[in-house]
Amino acid sequence: GLINVGKGGENKPCLVRLEYLPKGRNKNAKPLVLVGKTMTYDTGGLSLKINNGMRGMKRDKDGGCAVFGAMHAIATVIQPKRPVVGIMVAAENSISDEAYRPDDVITFRNGVSAEITNTDAEGRLVLADGLCWACEKEDPAAVIDMATLTGGVVVALGSTFAGMWCDDDALRAKVQAASDLSGERVWRLPLHEEYRDM
């Protein structure tokens, strides 16, 4: 996903991994893993954004920037007693003769394949590889994924709340408590099986 999305850009795509290890005996504990969508620019690729749709797409890296900022705070201020790994999946979704196309079929690192129907759905492709990496290589206690992923969430919630999907009630409660404490508001969105068919 990451390689294919980034093929059309002048700068090669990359997966950036940051690691915080606490001092003492907990350094071998399972880490919390933060994964951030880091699209340095999103033109929409060959499914080119129209009108003013490209304006502001330098902000499509905000998920990765949030991971970077969190890792800085974790290492310098918070210094938790457990390991934390930050993963930024970075690419530019651009147009060139190398760019991936609608109708391409790509295979992710875990062997799952997907047919591309719209190259402006690039975020879920790069995140899929970041999430595969997190689960396969990091043996995480939990994974938190941060992304500017879909305008549909902005339509539903505006810019007041971030959409949150979580299938672990204990983790969801911790994220909600952190949200309440920080003022960075989240709103739980449904993860029902019926959505898979949609």
User: Which tens digit of pLDDT belongs to each residue from 85-111?
Assistant: 999 999 999 999 999 999 999 999 999
What is the structure's pLDDT at 24?
81
pLDDT at 26: 83
165 versus 151: which is more confidently predicted? 165
Q: What percent of the chain has pLDDT over 90?
A: 85
Contact 18, 90 (CB under 8 A): no
- DSSP 3-state percent helix, strand, coil across the chain (nearest 5): 35, 25, 40
- Sign, Cα dihedral of 191, 197, 150, 45: positive
Residue positions annotated with a catalytic role: 49, 124
Task: Please state the rounded mean pLDDT for residues 184-188.
Answer: 95
For 16, phi then psi, to 5°, come to: -100, 130
Residue 25, pLDDT above cutoff 90: no
Give the pLDDT band of residue 152 (cuts 50, 70, 90): confident
Containing H/E element for 121?
none
Global pTM reads 0.93
Closest CA to 136 of 110, 170, 154, 116: 110
Task: Give the three-class secondary structure for 72.
Answer: helix
pLDDT of the residue at 23: 87
